[in-house]
Structure 1
Amino acid sequence: MTDLHFACTGARPEPYGAGPTLLFGLRVEEADHQPVHAVVLRCQIRIEPHQRRYAPEEQERLGDLFGTPERWGTTLKPVQFAHAATVVPGFDGVTEIDLPVPCTYDTEVASASYFRALSGGEIPLLLLFSGTVFSGPRGFHAEPIPWHTETGYRMPVAVWQRMMADCFPNSAWLRLRSDCLEELRRFRSARALPSWEDTFATLLREVGDSRGAGEGWLS
């Protein structure tokens, strides 16, 4: 049976992607250094949040995901990050490839919310592999990659931050319900505000000035 071992050698932003994408470097080794014709590779990437420490400001920003820190003994569970797939070309013994992983900036997605809450340090990831190996020194046969095949990687938070800064410089995205967006549009139109940024800034300023003074636009 073909025995593949995987290691993650690093991660970097894809500079020419249509959207935010990370390239994970993978080292793939066949234990007996037998020839491999190709690998149809699938990878599930999971965040292991219990494997790092958090500064007080990070704990506060993670409240929507895990609750207050005194509950983290039971709530700090793995978070799904991404699924990715690629085809590994034929090799003898060892090869290195890049695994493209599309990412999202949507803070309604738990992984993006988690990443945005971190100020620095590393993100503990677990890469779980599956797929099909095509091999055979004197012929051609296919066999599955065992489900227990995995590797860990601690990705610097700065890698994620640099990717998002390149794709969305000094900006962020927010998803709203249609009725909420319509109320915001009416507010903007009534005040003749030139941009959505001015709309939110004006709304926040007015709410701050009249906190508790009555019903607002978005009640």
Structure 2
Amino acid sequence: MAKLPRGVRSNNPGNIRHGDPWQGLAKKQPDPAFATFTSAAYGIRALARTLITYQDKHGLNTVRGIISRWAPPVENNTPAYVNAVAKQVGVGPDAQIDVQQYKVLRPLAEAIIRHENGQGPLDTPNTWYDQATIDKALELAGVEPPKRAAGPVPVTRETIGATATAGVGISQLAEAAPAVLDAVTNAQDSLTSGQISRVVVGLVLVGLAVFIAVSQVKRHKAGVL
């Protein structure tokens, strides 16, 4: 088995040097030059916090500016590093970016991880860590992924009752609202039966159920209930 890169072995994929009292530092620091963290999430957090500091404290808001400080030419092929990161992030080297945004910070951090450690075994942008690890690290750094929109709620007797109760706060409406669903179901059956009388009855039931529900709401607002 091939030896893991230095940064991966020390849970420090950004190759952060000693000097700052980072969260998650391991008690033992076997590497004389680079920090060792208790988990990859804390190492990636340090990477992300450094990028945020570059922007907030030093005004660096382009890939070229950030990487030129991160990997100065005295130690690195900085132009190649800049181009590789800019390509993976999907912006020009001199385009302005905001690392406080998840959609910017995540690909930037992952591009740095990949460049610092080479090709890893995973089919992820950074090739060493899964999405959950990256997201946990960014949350520790204070940048959370956007909230996912909730999916549609299925319409059932239970959800109608629960929604009505939550919105109005009265049990009467919760009891009346399921009748709407029953009436709609009956009306649907009627409409497909071909019998005019059942259609009329179904529509009346729908109207009656809605009237009851609305009346309960109005009485509640008026302070009757």
Same fold (TM over 0.5): no
TM-score under structure 1 normalisation? 0.24
More helix by share: 2
TM-score under structure 2 normalisation? 0.24
- Which structure is higher in RCO with an 8 Å CA cutoff and minimum separation 6? 1
More strand by share: 1
